[in-house]
Amino acid sequence: MKLGVALSSTAHAAVLAWGLLSFTAPAPLEVADVEALPIDIVPIEEFTQSVQGDKKADLSETPAPTPTKRPDVVENAENIGESKNDLKSEPEAKPAEQPVETAKADTPPPAAKPTPAPKVETEVPPAPEDTPAPTTEMAALNDPAVPITEETPVEEATPAESSEQFASLQDVSVVPTRRPEPPKPKTAETTQRKKEEKPASTKSASSDKKDPAVTDEIASLLNKQEPASSGAKKSDQQASLGTRKPSKGGKLSASEMDALRAAIEQCWSVPAGLADAEDMRVTVTIRLTPDGDIEGSPEVQATGGESGARRAFAGSAKRAVQKCAPYSLPKEKYDTWAEVVVNFSAADMF
C-alpha cells in the first residue's frame, strides 16, 4: 500500500506541476492603439424618403429648399416661398403680364429692321388681339414674312405684331396695351389659334440660339406656372437636393392597421352556409377621402369557390367595407391610406 500511495502522490504532484506550467494565463489580447470610429445606426428610410429641397441644387448635409429673400416672418407658415400669404398650391401664371413682358423683351434688337421682324412676329402668338391698325403698310414692308404667314392662318396677326414692334421702336417707353376689340379680318376661332401656336413654336426653336430674351420668354410661355413662390415660410439655408414637397414617409403603424382590420371585421357579417369556401378570396380596393369616407364605389375582385358563393362572399365583403365608413385614420398619414386594399379570405374562418 505504501508503494501505491507513494506512486500515486508523485504522479499527482507531477500532473499538478505540469498543470501549473501549462495552464498559465492566456496571452493578453493585443489591441492596436487606433482611434475609435464613431458608428451611427441610421434607418434606411432617411435615405429612401425624399427630403425637402431644390431639384437642381447639390446635395448637402441638411435638407433645405431654395432660400427665400423676404425678411419678414409669417407665423405658422408651412410652405416655403416668397409670398405674403401661406398658400399650399402654387398660383396660376398671370396671363395679363405676358404681352407686356414680350413687348419689353422685343425692344433690344432694334438694329436690324426688316430681318428680325419675321422672327419676332412668330414668337408672339398669344398676342393676336393686339392692335392691328397699321397692318397694310407693314405687311407690304415685310416681304419675307408674307409667304410664311400665308401658310398659316396667322397672317393677320403677324403683321399686326410687327407693326407694333416698329411702333415701339420709335417710342420705346410706350407699352402696347391690349385692346378689347379683336381685329376684324383675323380668324378668331380658337381652333385656328391652336394651330397657329405650332408653327410659331417650331420657328422659335430655330431662333433660340440667337436671342436669350426670346428663350426666356418661351420658357415663360411653356411653363404656365410661376416658379416656386407660393408659401410664406422663410428659409435662409443653402438649397439642397430634394423635392419641393417632401414625402412624409409615414406608414400606418401595426396598431393602426390592426384597428382598421378590427373595424372592418366587426362590420363584416359573414354569409352563412358557404360551400367550398376555403379557397375564396375577395380583394376590395377603396379610395378614401382625407375625412375617411369612401370615394366612389369599391372595386371588388373575387376568386375561387363556386360562382354563387363567390358572389355572396364578395357582396358581404363590399358591404362590410361600405358599412364601416368613415374610417378614423391619422390624417397626417393620408398619403399612405388614400387607397386601401382589403383582403377577405374565407379560409381563416373555418
Partner 1 sequence: MNGISILAVSAAFAQGVESGGLEAAGDVTLLGLFLQAGLIVKLVMIGLLVASIWTWAIIIDKIFLYARTRKQLDRFEEVFWSGRSLEELYRSLADRTPTGMGALFVSAMREWKKSFERGASSPMGLQARIEKVMDVSLARELDRLERRLGFLASVGSVAVYVGLFGTVVGIMTSFQAIAGSKSTNLAVVAPGIAEALLATAIGLLAAIPALVAYNKLSNDVAKIAARLEGFADEFSAILSRQIDERNAKQG
Interface with partner 1 (CB under 8 A): 1, 3-9, 11-12, 16, 19-20, 23-26
CA–CA distances in Å: residue 199 to residues 115, 126, 163, 309, 323: 18, 13, 20, 62, 56
Minimum Å gap between C-beta 31 and partner 1 is 14
Contact 325, 298 (CB under 8 A): no
Measure the CA–CA gap between 52 and 213, rounded to whole angstroms: 31
- Which one, 28 or 296, has the nearer CB to partner 1? 28
For the chain, the C-alpha Rg in angstroms (whole number) is 39
- Which one, 5 or 254, has the nearer CB to partner 1? 5
Q: Which residues pair with 281 in a beta bridge?
A: 303, 345
Minimum Å gap between C-beta 10 and partner 1 is 10
Which residues does 131 contact at the CB level (< 8 Å), separation at least 6?
A: 160, 164, 176, 179, 183
3-state secondary structure of 288: strand
- Which one, 13 or 133, has the nearer CB to partner 1? 13
- Which one, 2 or 224, has the nearer CB to partner 1? 2
- Which one, 1 or 42, has the nearer CB to partner 1? 1
Minimum Å gap between C-beta 228 and partner 1 is 56
Give 238: exposed, middle or buried? Use CB within 10 Å, 0-12, 13-18, 19+: middle
Minimum Å gap between C-beta 14 and partner 1 is 12
Measure the CA–CA gap between 72 and 280, rounded to whole angstroms: 62
Minimum Å gap between C-beta 24 and partner 1 is 5
